[in-house]
Amino acid sequence: MPSPRYWREIPSRYRLEAAACRGCKRVIYPKRQVCPQCGGVEFEATRLAHRGRVVTSTVVHVAPTDLQMEAPYAMAVVETEEGVRLMVQVADCDPSEVLPGMEVTLEFRLIRKEDHGGILCYGHKAVPVE
């Protein structure tokens, strides 16, 4: 059974729900109570575009326990068209090809199986644009 910690994050992880600050227009993902840029507290709901570019990346060889079967895998900080950055795994490619500047789309995927119960945890991964 997914924990409260998991389902609280579902809107951001499943639907890429974000918030646009009414003060400075910055888009914040996941949404927050206070804008880190201007301190504003009023937002409009928005969703991220599913398209972005790799800011920086790595290939994880020594993986956490839950993901050891997947290593080596590529991780990247991706900047979306709204200027939002998020940490994602990059799938469906040779991990060594994931480098700064690469264009990606964000796709809904299984992220991990957690703990001994094997709870299935979902979210978005990046996939290189052809």
> CB under 5 to 8 A by kind: which of Zn ion, other proteins, none does 23 bind?
Zn ion
Q: Which of 22-30, 43-51, 86-94, 107-115 is the region at the interface with Zn ion (rule: CB under 5 A)?
A: 22-30
- The span from the CA of 79 to the CA of 47, in Å, is 14
Q: What residues form DSSP beta bridges with 120? A: 113
Choose among 3, 54, 45, 2: nearest CA to 22: 45
Shortest Å distance, C-beta 31 to Zn ion: 12
Q: Could you give the residue ranges of the DSSP H alpha helices within 9-97? A: 10-15
Q: Contact with Zn ion (CB under 5 A): which of 3, 15, 24, 119?
A: 24
- Tell me: does residue 34 bind Zn ion (CB under 5 A): no
Q: At 68, phi and psi to the nearest 5?
A: -60, -30
Please, what is the Cα angle at 118 between 114 and 119, to 5 degrees?
A: 65
Q: Contact with Zn ion (CB under 5 A): which of 10, 38, 71, 110?
A: 38
How many CA atoms, within 13 angstroms, populate the side-chain half-sphere of residue 121?
Answer: 19
- Tell me: does residue 83 bind other proteins (CB under 8 A): no
Which residues lie near other proteins (CB under 8 A)?
Answer: 3-5, 8-9, 13, 30, 32-36, 39, 41, 55-65, 67, 70, 72-73, 75-77, 85-89, 96, 99-100, 111-112, 121, 123
Which residues lie near Zn ion (CB under 5 A)?
Answer: 21, 23-24, 26, 35, 37-38, 40
